[in-house]
Structure 1
Amino acid sequence: MRATLVEVAPRDGFQPIGPFIPTEEKVAFVEDAHAAGLRRIEIGSFVNPKAVPQLRDTGEVLRRTARLDGLDAQVLVPNARGVALALEAGARHLAYVVSASEAHNRSNVRRDVAASVRDYGEIVAGLPAGVKVRLNLATSFDCPFDGRVEEDLVLSRLDGLLAHREDVEVGLCDTTGRADPNHVFSLVLKCLARFEGRTRWAFHGHDTYGLGLANVAAAWRAGIAVFDAAFGGLGGCPFAPGATGNVATEDVAWMFRRMGVATGVGLEALVAVAARAAALPGAAPGGRVRAALAGICAAS
């Protein structure tokens, strides 16, 4: 058994931090995460720098980390302009985001869902050969404005999106962290059954209410094997009021190790990276494993 961890702290984790993290420091975090065994890393996003000033140097981070052996550098793109900038910078793995919830899509990308879906169709039709696509469906479980998102709406959104292209990876995103394991298990089962063999799946969870790790376990038991996580438990969507950090990568790695599931991640090296990230000025860290392992080391 093997699970793939996608490290998203350099994007989702850094974006809400106010004090600008120097480019050299961002590159060092990517390098150290790679050295800890993480091979898929979301290094930033090509969004309007006025909206997310922390990530205005994503192109430079992408360029400086391109030499890392086996690194699959993923970047988030919200629209056609972002795609053009990402491709110009040399990106070969794009994560496009659209919300299941109408209200969140308008808050996040300033347009309705139908416009985002049309934009997505035009984008994937024009991509160069060899460019991989992650389709992140934000608010797959809950919307900060409308509450619980019905499973039928999620399936309907995916019907429209996957009609444009099926050979993508779909990320089911618990944007607010208000999902529960039963909801995650149920929706994942329905998605895998409805789109069987047509696409690949990932789970993106937040730990706002302390259920992030339980939701990862539920998604795993339902059949998903790719999980987004952020070292140090950093993160939080600026356009989802109240949402806090992503589930901590070190917590996910520790859980899977205990379950006998391989991840290829060196936990001790990862915890060192997470501790540095948690200490960043302006960061709001989460997770439990860092403190637990530090306590064990202090007691021994």
Structure 2
Amino acid sequence: MRATLIEVAPRDGFQPIAPFIPTNEKVAFVEAAHAAGLRRIEIGSFVNPKAVPQLRDTAEVLRRTAGLEGLDAQVLVPNARGVALALEAGARHIAYVVSASEAHNRSNVRRDVASSIAEYGEIVSGLPAGVRLRLNLATSFDCPFDGRMAEGLVLSRLEALLAHHEDVEVGLCDTTGRADPDHVFSLASACLARFGEWTRWVFHGHDTYGLGLANVAAAWRAGITAFDAAFGGLGGCPFAPGATGNVATEDVAWMFARMGVNTGVDLDALVRLAARAASLPGAAPGGRVRAALLGACATT
């Protein structure tokens, strides 16, 4: 058995940190994550730098990490303008984000859901050959403004999006961290049962209420085998009030190791990397494994 861990700290983890992280340091974090065995890394986003100033150097980080062997560098884009900037910078793996929730989509990308879905169709039809596309459905479980999302609404959003292109990877995103394991298992199971064999699935969880790892386990039981996570438990959406960090990559790696599931990650190296990230000025780290393992080392 194997699970794929997709490291999102350089994007989702860094974006809420106010003090600017120097580009050299961002590059070093990506290099350290790669050295720890992580091969899929979301290194930044092409968004308006006024909205997310921390990620204004994504093009440079992308350029300087391009030589890492086997690295699949993913970048987030919210609209067609972001896609154009990403392609201009040489991105070969783009993640487009749209929200299931009308209110969150307007807050996050300043447009209604129907407009985002229509634009997604245009992006799919015009994407150059060889560029991979991922679709992130934000607020798949809960919206900071509208509350719990009805499963039928989420499935209908996916129906409209996948009508443009079924052969895509879809991220089911617990944007607020308010999902629970039963909800995650139910929606993930429904998605896998309803949509075609060409669609691949990722679970993106936050740990706002301490259920991040339990939700990862629930998604795994439902049949999802790829998971977004952030070293040090960093993260949080600036457009989802109250949401805190992503589920910690080291916690997910430790859990899967205990379950006998291979992730290809060097846990010791990952914990050292997480400790560095947790000490960043302005960071709000999370997770439990980092403290447990480093504490054990200190007492032996």
Same fold (TM over 0.5): yes
Deviation at residue 166 of structure 1 after TM alignment: 1.1
Asked if residue 277 in structure 1 is aligned to residue 285 in structure 2, the reply is no
One-letter code aligned to 1:142: D
After superposition, residues 206-221 of structure 1 pair within 5 angstroms as: 206-221=206-221
One-letter code aligned to 1:80: A
SS in structure 2 at match of 1:208: coil
Q: Is the 8 A contact 2:166 2:196 kept in 1?
A: no
One-letter code aligned to 2:113: V
1:81-114 residue CA offsets vs partner (Å, 9 max, x unmatched): 0000000000000000000000000000000000
1:249-294 residue CA offsets vs partner (Å, 9 max, x unmatched): 0000000000000000000000011000000000000000011001
In the alignment, structure 1 segments of 5+ residues that lack a partner are: none
After superposition, residues 131-150 of structure 1 pair within 5 angstroms as: 131-150=131-150
After superposition, residues 1-300 of structure 1 pair within 5 angstroms as: 1-300=1-300
Counterparts of 2:239 and 2:202, CA distance in 1: 21
Counterparts of 1:267 and 1:250, CA distance in 2: 7
SS in structure 2 at match of 1:235: coil
Q: CA RMSD in A?
A: 0.4
SS in structure 2 at match of 1:98: strand
1:156-210 residue CA offsets vs partner (Å, 9 max, x unmatched): 0000000111111000000000000000000000000000303000000000000
In the alignment, structure 2 segments of 5+ residues that lack a partner are: none
Counterparts of 1:196 and 1:120, CA distance in 2: 19
Counterparts of 2:53 and 2:198, CA distance in 1: 37
Q: Is the 8 A contact 2:74 2:93 kept in 1?
A: yes
Counterparts of 1:224 and 1:31, CA distance in 2: 27
1:41-66 residue CA offsets vs partner (Å, 9 max, x unmatched): 00000000000000000000000000
Q: Is the 8 A contact 2:5 2:228 kept in 1?
A: yes
SS in structure 1 at match of 2:287: coil
SS in structure 2 at match of 1:117: helix
Counterparts of 1:37 and 1:65, CA distance in 2: 15
Q: Is the 8 A contact 2:45 2:55 kept in 1?
A: yes
Counterparts of 2:230 and 2:295, CA distance in 1: 21
SS in structure 2 at match of 1:74: strand
SS in structure 1 at match of 2:86: helix
Q: Is the 8 A contact 2:9 2:42 kept in 1?
A: yes
Deviation at residue 6 of structure 1 after TM alignment: 0.2
Deviation at residue 299 of structure 1 after TM alignment: 1.4
Aligned length in residues = 300
One-letter code aligned to 1:79: N
Counterparts of 2:132 and 2:166, CA distance in 1: 12
Percent sequence identity over aligned pairs: 86
SS in structure 2 at match of 1:76: strand
Per the normalisation by structure 1, the TM-score is: 1.00
Deviation at residue 298 of structure 1 after TM alignment: 1.3
Counterparts of 2:198 and 2:11, CA distance in 1: 28
Counterparts of 1:260 and 1:240, CA distance in 2: 35
After TM superposition, the runs of 4+ consecutive aligned structure 1 residues lying more than 4 A away are: none
